[in-house]
A and B are shown apart, each in its own frame.
Chain A
Amino acid sequence: MRNSKPIRCLILACGNTTRSDDGVGPILAEWAAERFRDNAHVRVVSRQQWTPELAEEVAAADAVLFIDGSVNSAPGHVQLVAVEAAAGDLGAATHHVDAPELLGLTRALYGSPSAQAMLLTIGVGSTEFGESFSEPVNAAIPGARGVLEETILRFLEN
């Protein structure tokens, strides 16, 4: 999923593909990587966790779209929200950071966060060991792909 051209749109997914619905982020990222395979301005990075090292990737992009499962939403609920950089007073973990913390770290280190940052979440129903999705998440994936594609295209137009 790597290329060395200037990146306008960075897709950053996280999740564990062996914990059922927690793998929905990586699955959507895989779809995006294939869908935008020939577009040098889109870069897709999928990790089990977002870590501080990703700040450099974020700094190099014009727009960032985070993708993750959410335990705070109803299973299968697809939501797209804007993300703001965290202020320094949030307790940042050391092995993983969330989207606002990553933007905050990027600002602290590189002086300028991405112009636009959005977070696409899909509500998870199950995080049991397994590699298949629950029914609500399975049903939500086509719609989530639609939102993902629309958002990336909008970022590329701007």
Chain B
Amino acid sequence: MSQTITIDPVTRLEGHGKITIQLNGKGEVEDAHFHVTQVRGFERFSAGRPFYEMPSLMARICGICPVSHLLASAKACEAIMSVRIPHTAAQLRRVLNLAQLVQSHALSFFHLSSPDLLLGMDSDPATRHILGVAAANPKLGLAGIALRRFGQSIIELLGGKRVHPGWVVPGGVTEPLDAAKRDKILAMIPGAYTNIGLALDAYKQIADKFKAEIEIFANFPSNYLGLINDDESFEITDGALRLIDAKGKTIEDGITASRFTEVIGEAVEPYSYTKFVYYKPLGYPGGCYRVGPLARLNIVKSICTPQAQKELAGFKQLASGPVESSFYYHHARLVEALYGIEKIEQILADPAILDKHVRATAGVNRLEGAGQIEAPRGTLNHYYKVDENGKITWANLVVATGHNNNAMNKGVLQAAKSLVKNGKFTEGALNRIEAVVRTFDPCLSCSTHAFGQMPLIVTLLTADGEVVDRVARN
């Protein structure tokens, strides 16, 4: 008799999702899906709002990565305004983005994934959480909290609040940085280096224990998409996207925000509210790819900060071409956090960061605009259309979790096939299947948006699970 195993909710993720694993009559895994079960609707209810409200509105999609939405939205607005923001404003926004990168990666590694990595995938679920990590390794627990505080403090200093900060507006930022705040941030840098160093050392010591997981955690060839500088170095705030194939060869380069919708499409599957994003010339699902830390480090040739560059060189030794196993997202995340700390220090060392000219002003000069950025989880694109009065008539967001959706589902299926045999599974096996999704660090609240009418199937079951009725739409 066929059976469905359901993991609901998937724990230690941002947002709400579940995993279902379908077994055939012999107890073998036939299919598995990662379902995002929440709906937000930001693109619909922003219609009619003045475009300059959008950064503040869109930041509220998420409490983990609001800065990413603030920045991508502001860039889309600036395209509508046809302005180029002052250089100092661009650098200040870069610092804000880097601070978010550090705090978000610290959350993902320490709070969400380190319980599995430090305590073990088969450890007691009752203690497999941040308290358990703190008890087992207080130094590392403290490092995680301190790194998160580092990023959040910078966001609060610049934007006024840790969560949903203001300060970023279409045209730049609302006020310049003063020397006192700059010095306060610089004073936090040495501690941040110590803590990320602890994390990298801890990860490298334990990574070898997870050879079996590395083998089955979304470990397959794929394409990769991410921002890159003209000199092929690492970038998360400005510039154009590059798509590479499984061998590392460039498929398409120079994908600017305004070209994004020409080359990127979104598919819908009936089992999830998150769309499946793909490269149009290759179709769906062949044109799917991965984004985020693993993709970014696979795409770039160098990082412009010395310590992170050294770590990148070590990362690239993991494979002769692109690193394939999604387990290595953990490693890539720590390298990026190190880069974030170094780059913040570099930017703040420039006296020009205190310049007072931080905002450009203009009205509506174009009736549509797009902005893109690398959020901690991967590429984020905001696209708006406005009327002559600047009121939003249409908005679309393509977020990292949508880009990774196909890979997450493939990864869940790969792990399930390896870990569920003859209909039997352990708690540790189910935790490992969840952990596959955790490697991607998805942000499910960001990823669900309405576009047209969503396919919907409603199934009515008795208490014994017998199907009584079924209604489908689209």
Contact = CB atoms under 8 A, between A and B. Distances in A.
Nearest to B138: A109
A91 B145 contact: no
Interface string A76-109: 0000000000101111111100000100110011
A128 interface: no
Contacts of B131: 86, 88, 90, 92, 101, 104-105, 108
Contact of B142 (A48, A88, A109): A109
Given A108-B141, A109-B141, A52 B111 contact: yes
Interface stretch (B28-36, B122-130, B245-253, B420-428): B122-130
B149 A53 contact: yes
A55 interface: yes
A22 to B, nearest CB: 15
A92 B125 contact: no
B186 to A, nearest CB: 17
B129 A56 contact: no
B425 to A, nearest CB: 21
Contacts of B126: 89-91
A108 B134 contact: yes
Contacts of A110: 142
A89 B111 CA distance: 16
Interface residues of B, number: 24
Interface residues of A, number: 21
Among B112, B129, B149, the most chain A Cβ lie within 10 Å of the Cβ of B129
Interface string B205-226: 0000000000000000000000
Interface string A24-53: 000000000000000000000000100011
Interface string B120-160: 00000111011110110010011001101100100000000
Contacts of A95: 14, 63
Contacts of B130: 52, 92, 94, 105
Nearest to A57: B149
Interface of B: 12, 14, 63, 107, 111-112, 125-127, 129-132, 134-135, 138, 141-142, 145-146, 148-149, 152, 163
